[in-house]
Structure 1
Amino acid sequence: MFKMNSFVLFVLCVISLAVYAKANEKHVVCYYGTWAAYRNGLGKFDVDNINTDLCTHIVYTFLGINTRGTVVSLDPYLDYPENWGKDNIRKFVALKDQNPNLKLILAVGGWNEGSAKYSIMAANPKLRKNFITSAIQIIQKYGFDGLNIDWEYPNRGDSVFGQDDIDNYTQLLKELREEFDKHGLHLSAAVASVKSMASLSYDIPAISQYLDLINVMSYDMSVASGRVTGHNSPLHKGEKDVVISKENLKTVDGVLEYWLKQGCPPEKLILGLPLYGHTFKLSDPKNNGVGALSAGPGISGPYTATNGFIGFNELCVKLRKETWNIKYDNSSKVPYAVQGNNWISYDDAKSLTAKVKYALQFNIAGIMLWSIETDDFLGICQSDDYPLSRAVNIALGRSIESSSTALGTSTSNPTSSKPSTTAPIQEFICKDIGFYSNPKECSSYYYCVKSAGGNLVPKLLRCPNNLYWDQENQFCNYPDQANCYA
């Protein structure tokens, strides 16, 4: 009897530990910007590029609403199959075939949607009902696990009802929660981060009752339209910052202090971190520190093509191919780069790791990444794909596999556009860092990169279907425009 009881106790302990470990696993919420499907060359990002091992939740952005409060597609050609569309939503929800544990979330809203429509919808019981009913219909029709509300922002911007938005937003979430619980659906929200903005928009203790996760957007703390240079997402205040309380600072530590003090449960708080940077044009190249006078937005990346903004996948190539003075702010714990009158604030693996480790001391629920298509998802700059996302996973203590057992061998997601070894890369000899056409075929090309030992090593990459490598323009192009005759 004693042996049987001991065995049962042992089994129960093992089960309890397993449940505890699962319950305490940190979340990685990955936002996926669907518009990247229209980018050219190496910036083009489709569902097939998503690495499902690096996220616990993936958020499909964005759907919107119409004047009746009904959830509608903002890009039917991309989202749906009708009229020869790309059927992107169905492809997205099929990601569960690769990782059944994934939570696939539909996001409604976003910066471009503004505030007015949501202010009107949230103030009207009939429109709220239309919103909730239509959201559930789409979620269930396609197989999403839940909804992410990204109203930017209640009581701000072009809001119609001003301060009434605060209570109306809470009421909307309350009604969503009641209906979602009937169907076992997940409910989360993306929210403003720093006190000066969040305090205008949210009753934090109230909304925390109804949300499963609260994704705090801890970035864009300094933007290129500002008068001076500044960090996109500093962990701590800089040496030149005035002495004020943390919660009033535009810093990650200030954001955490404010939200937790206001009553956001740490087990629901998701800290949002950026996979992109902001670029500034210096007024005086000689005055190039943090807080230097800025003449406005700086350079754009070749894929995102927006002055003042650059994805990490664009920046890492630029930093390797060009001469930049890379500096590290020891107070704010983030890097920045200077070249002439160009100034860039960004994050690297080191700075993201520092933020994650700092946040973990508050036992928060996890990290949100905005957004995965601006990580180095092809592994152009390093031997692994998604270096920033991987760094965050590692810092959270999540077990992940390398994307390659050897340079150029993809293993973690065979359907994504990662380096391939269908041809022996040893036959190609690199003369310098950069992109080169494959003399044996037009549908693939080489990227020559320095290995850890300093040697030039070729990585074989493939163009998307029906495209050829265009050596002159340095991207995958239509065959009749690529000038390739291999």
Structure 2
Amino acid sequence: MANLNLVQLVSVALVLTASTSGTASATAVKGIYWMDQPLFPASTINTSLFTHVYYAFLAPNATTFKLYVSNSSNITLTNFITAFRTRIPTILSIGGSNATSFSLIFSNNTTRATFINSTISVARAYGFDGVDLDWEFPQNSDDTNNLGSLFQEWRIAITADAALTRKPPLLLTAAVYFAVDFFLSDNPRTYPVTSINQNVDWVNVMSYNFHGSWNNDTGAPSGLFNPTRNISVVDGLKSWIGAGVKPEKLVMGMPLYGMTWQLEDPKVNGIGAAVMGPGPGSNGAMAYFKVLEFNMQKNAKVVYDVDTMSVYSYSGSYWIGYDDPLTVTAKVGYAQALSLGGYFFWAAGYDTNNWKISTQASKAWIVS
């Protein structure tokens, strides 16, 4: 693997960004997801850096198929909306990695209607500007076909609600896999491209978690490129566009965290090095501000890798792959080169106190 020094990486980032001059729109999506956490209340989000804030998550009741709002969630939702009302559009995200009942709920139009009506009702009751579906992930072709029907029926219901309430229609977005098809699975299926183009305002492409503690070697968790396999930000986004999804409907995801490993041999410490398991952090994951603390406290070696357009650091047997402001600049430049609709981050609270990565991403998006 070729290593990139700081000057070289800046040059590449500037070339990617400069190549898009005059093509970007002031209406680009700059989103961020927020999860309820006592150490980082929603009110501390710097809204000048974003265009939309997502509340993550509510989930449907497995029996009634309606969104379930507990007493504690009611308080959190109320505080969330209060923090942003009149300041920035808010979107209610439904699902998450632990949601398990979507396949059943979306399997017929009756249960889909129950689910859809409850999402609109809850969104309107709390004052959200949109709804977002985070289904991780449809498991077969029946699921993806039903998802297409869901989007169509959801759009019809949102349009009817807007006419009835005389309010702007709710935004409809969805978080989706990094690629349009699940080519890494033994059970092939493809997202409903036509329905997405016709009914969804945009999809948030989860262009991350390519490599993690489940692997037996180090790797770029969200590499812009991959010289050995078609598992990268570029490959995923191109698959969506190649399948016919309008580029402006695609919003590129970026992680505000790194993945960590413990090396088998500290002397073998590049990308692809053998590992014994996850390293420091929470189950092999570490917030960006914690990565910087690790690098400083451990006097870690920081390396920029040209082949993946990613950064990693290591100290002793510990190794961390992550993004920083420079690699994010390159990604934003590439997103603009593809005429994408914008970008989003997972998740609020993982950046530094002064929003180092988020600030650079916002500055890097060139407005025509």
Could you say which TM-score interval applies, normalised by the shorter chain? 0.7 to 0.9
Q: 1:398 Cα deviation (Å)?
A: 6.3
Distance 1:71 1:179 in 2: 16
1:347 aligns with 2:342: no
1:79 aligns with 2:57: no
Residue 8 of structure 2: aligned partner:
none
Stretch moving more, 143-152 or 20-29? 20-29
Of 311, 315, 325, the residue aligned with 2:287 is: 311
Residue 171 of structure 2: aligned partner:
186
Residue 396 of structure 1: aligned partner:
365
Q: Give the letter aligned to residue 110 of structure 1.
A: G
> What are structure 1's unaligned runs of at least 5 residues?
1-19, 38-43, 81-86, 156-161, 243-248, 301-305, 379-384, 400-486
Q: Give the letter aligned to residue 340 of structure 1.
A: G
Of 100, 104, 122, the residue aligned with 2:90 is: 104
Q: Give the letter aligned to residue 343 of structure 2.
A: I
Contact 1:105 1:148 in 2 (8 A): yes
Higher Cα Rg, which structure: 1
Contact 1:52 1:95 in 2 (8 A): no
Kindly report which structure 2 residues correspond to 1:132-211, keeping only aligned pairs within 5 A, or say none.
132-155=116-139, 162-182=140-160, 183=162, 184-194=169-179, 197=182, 200-211=189-200
Distance 2:305 2:33 in 1: 27
Post-superposition CA distance 1:20-54 (Å, at most 9, x none): 999643110111122x22xxxxxx11122111111
Q: 1:63 Cα deviation (Å)?
A: 0.3
Residue 206 of structure 2: aligned partner:
217
Distance 1:172 1:195 in 2: 17
Moved over 4 A (4+): 20-24
Distance 1:78 1:232 in 2: 34
1:279 aligns with 2:255: no
Residue 4 of structure 1: aligned partner:
none
Distance 2:136 2:213 in 1: 19
Contact 2:149 2:195 in 1 (8 A): no
Distance 2:265 2:296 in 1: 25
Contact 1:277 1:346 in 2 (8 A): yes
Q: Give the letter aligned to residue 325 of structure 1.
A: K
1:253 aligns with 2:234: yes
Stretch moving more, 274-283 or 188-197? 188-197
Q: 1:333 Cα deviation (Å)?
A: 1.2
Distance 2:77 2:264 in 1: 45
Contact 1:276 1:374 in 2 (8 A): yes
Q: 1:179 Cα deviation (Å)?
A: 0.6
Q: Give the letter aligned to residue 326 of structure 2.
A: K
Q: 1:370 Cα deviation (Å)?
A: 0.8
Q: 1:97 Cα deviation (Å)?
A: 4.2
Q: 1:195 Cα deviation (Å)?
A: 5.3
- Across the aligned residues of Structure 1 and Structure 2, the Cα RMSD in angstroms comes to 2.0
Of 224, 232, 254, the residue aligned with 1:235 is: 224
Q: Give the letter aligned to residue 61 of structure 2.
A: N
Post-superposition CA distance 1:167-199 (Å, at most 9, x none): 111111110010112221110000001356276
Question: Does the residue aligned with 2:146 lie in a helix, a strand or coil?
Answer: helix
1:125 aligns with 2:109: yes
Post-superposition CA distance 1:441-482 (Å, at most 9, x none): xxxxxxxxxxxxxxxxxxxxxxxxxxxxxxxxxxxxxxxxxx
Distance 1:358 1:185 in 2: 29
Residue 426 of structure 1: aligned partner:
none
Contact 2:182 2:190 in 1 (8 A): yes
Question: Does the residue aligned with 2:240 lie in a helix, a strand or coil?
Answer: helix
> What are structure 2's unaligned runs of at least 5 residues?
1-21, 163-168
Distance 2:365 2:149 in 1: 34
Residue 417 of structure 1: aligned partner:
none
Question: Does the residue aligned with 2:182 lie in a helix, a strand or coil?
Answer: helix
Question: Does the residue aligned with 2:122 lie in a helix, a strand or coil?
Answer: helix
Distance 2:24 2:268 in 1: 50
Distance 1:168 1:30 in 2: 27
Percent sequence identity is 32
Contact 1:90 1:142 in 2 (8 A): yes
Question: Does the residue aligned with 2:106 lie in a helix, a strand or coil?
Answer: helix
Residue 270 of structure 2: aligned partner:
289
Residue 57 of structure 1: aligned partner:
52
